[in-house]
Amino acid sequence: MSDKIIIKKKIEKFNTVITVSGDKSISIRWVLFSSLANGISKAKNLLISEDVAAAINAIKKLGIKVKKTKNEFWIYGKGINGYKYKKNIVIDAKNSGTLGRLILGLLVNSTEKIKLIGDQSLSKRDFKRISDPLKKFGASIKLKNGKNLPAIINGSYNLEPIKYIENRGSAQCKTSVIFAGMRTLGKTTIKAKKSRNHTELLCKHLKLPIKIKNKISYDEITINKVKSIKNLNYNIPSDISSAAFFIVLTALSEKSRLIIKKVNINSSRIGVISILRKMGVKIIFRNIKVYKGERIADIFVESSNSLKAINCHPSLNSGAIDEFLVIFLVAAKAKGISYFKNLEELNQKESPRLNWGNKILKSMGIKTVVNKNSIKIFGNPGLKVNKKIIIKNYLKDHRVFMSSVIAALSFGGNWIIHDKNSIKTSFPKFLKIINQIKNND
C-alpha cells in the first residue's frame, strides 16, 4: 500500500460531532505510574498508538504484566520496587521523547545496565537535558556523543536528592526528575518553568509526597521518596493536541461547525485555544467537568471569516508547543502580520518543526521571515493555493503529516504528502476522522 496521500480538493462545509483519541501524555503517564502501583490498574480509552505501545513494551521488559481486554488495558503493578532488572535488556522508546525521557527517571535505581534506543528521529534529539540532572542523583548515564541515544543507564543504590532548575518549560524533563525524586531518600526540589502538569496532578491524586507552589511564570515542586502507590483506574480523556487539527480545519473552512467530545482542557494544555481565540476564532467549552484533577469539556468551534494576526506572547508557548504547525496555518489566513517568538523548543521536536512550519507556509505562497527561534507570518485572507506541493523527508514527524493534510483541505492545491504511516505514532484514527467529517458535508 502506498504510504502517501494525494489531496486535490478543499473540504466542503460540514457540521458534525467527533471524538478524537485518548490523550498521549496522560496515556504514557498512566502506563508508567501503573507499572509502579500495587495491584491491578485499569484504563479505558487508552490511546492505542505506537508511542503508547512502546511504553507498554518497556514496562513488559521490566517484568510487568499487561493485559488488553475488549475495552480496557490492565497493568499488574508489583509495587514501587517491582521491576525485574534482567541482564542486557534493551528498551526501545521508538519515536517517543516522552517515553524515552520519563523512563530514564524511573531507572535511576536500576540494578543492571539498561540500554535505551529510539528511532531515527528520537536518536537525533537531545538527551543531555535529562542525563545532566539524573546523573546528579547518582545514576550513571552514557549517551552517544554525550547527548544522544542510545543511552546506557546504570542505576545506583545511593541516590542523593537534588535541586533542579528546569528553564525550558519541558514537562518531560520536569517529570523525569519527579520520577527520580520519588526513588530518592530526602527532598528533591524543582523550580520549573510552566509546562503541562499531568504528572503533578497524578501525584496529588495518588496522594504521593509532593508539594507544589504555583508562581506566575514557574512552579516550585518538592518530592520525597515514595513508599507505595495505590492502583490507578483511569478513563483517559481525549487529546487536545489531536483535537487541534480539527479545530483549525473548522476555523479555516467555510460555514462549518464542529463539536469534539470529552477533550482534556487542562489549563497547561490549552495555549492553542487562547491563541486562536485572540485571532478571532469562536471556541466554546461545554459540559465542563473535573476528573482526577483534569478538566474535561466538549469543544464547540465554528468557521471564522475575519481572522486577525497575533503578536503571540511567549507565556502561551509551552501550553501550545505541539500545536504551532496548525496555528501557523491560521496565521496564513489572518489579516496582518503574526509574530511568534522564543520558539527555540520547536526545533527540538520529532523534526525541526519551526523550519517545517516555515517550509509549508512558503510552499503555499505565504511570505515569512524566520530565524532560529521566531517567525513572522504575513497573512493573506484571500489565500487560494493552486499549485503542486510535495511534503516529504520530514523524519516521519506525525504532526508535520497531519498539519499538511489540514493545509491541503483548508487552502486547496494539489498536495502529495508522504509517510502517512507517521500518524500511527500519536493518532492512528486521524484519516478516518477526516473521512467522517468529509461525509458529513
Shorter beta-carbon distance to ligand S3P: residue 31 or 385 = 31
Catalytic residue among 92, 119, 322, 419: 322
The one-letter amino acid at 261 = K
Shorter beta-carbon distance to ligand S3P: residue 25 or 358 = 25
With CB under 6 A as the contact rule, the residue among 41, 49, 131, 170 that binds ligand S3P is: 170
Residues 6 or more apart whose Cβ sits within 8 Å of residue 170: 129, 195, 345
* Count of positions on this chain that bind ligand S3P (CB under 6 A): 11
Shorter beta-carbon distance to ligand S3P: residue 110 or 175 = 175
Shorter beta-carbon distance to ligand S3P: residue 196 or 420 = 196
**Residue 111 is placed in which grid cell?**
540494578
Q: Which stretch binds ligand S3P (CB under 6 A): 36-44, 166-174, 331-339, 375-383?
A: 166-174
Eight-class DSSP state of 335: B
Eight-class DSSP state of 20: P
**CB 57 to ligand S3P: min, Å:** 18
Eight-class DSSP state of 21: P
Is 322 one of the catalytic residues?
A: yes
- Cβ 77 vs Cβ 109: under 8 Å: no
Q: Is the peptide bond before 133 cis (omega within 30 degrees of 0)?
A: no
The DSSP line for 104-142 is HHHTTT-SSEEEEE--TTGGGS--HHHHHHHHHHT-EEE
Centroid of chain to Cα 364: 26
Binding mask 187-206 for ligand S3P (x = CB under 6 A): --------xx----------
With CB under 6 A as the contact rule, the residue among 99, 171, 263, 437 that binds ligand S3P is: 171
The DSSP line for 216-254 is SSEEEEEE------B---EEPPBPHHHHHHHHHHHHHSS
Shorter beta-carbon distance to ligand S3P: residue 188 or 410 = 188
Residues 6 or more apart whose Cβ sits within 8 Å of residue 382: none
**CB 356 to ligand S3P: min, Å:** 15
Closest CA to 97 of 39, 141, 148: 148
Binding mask 81-110 for ligand S3P (x = CB under 6 A): -----------------x------------
Binding mask 20-59 for ligand S3P (x = CB under 6 A): -----x----------------------------------
Greatest Cα pair distance in the chain? 63
**CB 320 to ligand S3P: min, Å:** 10
333 binds ligand S3P (CB under 6 A): no
Residues that bind ligand S3P (CB under 6 A): 25, 98, 170-172, 175, 195-196, 321-322, 345
- Residues marked as catalytic: 322
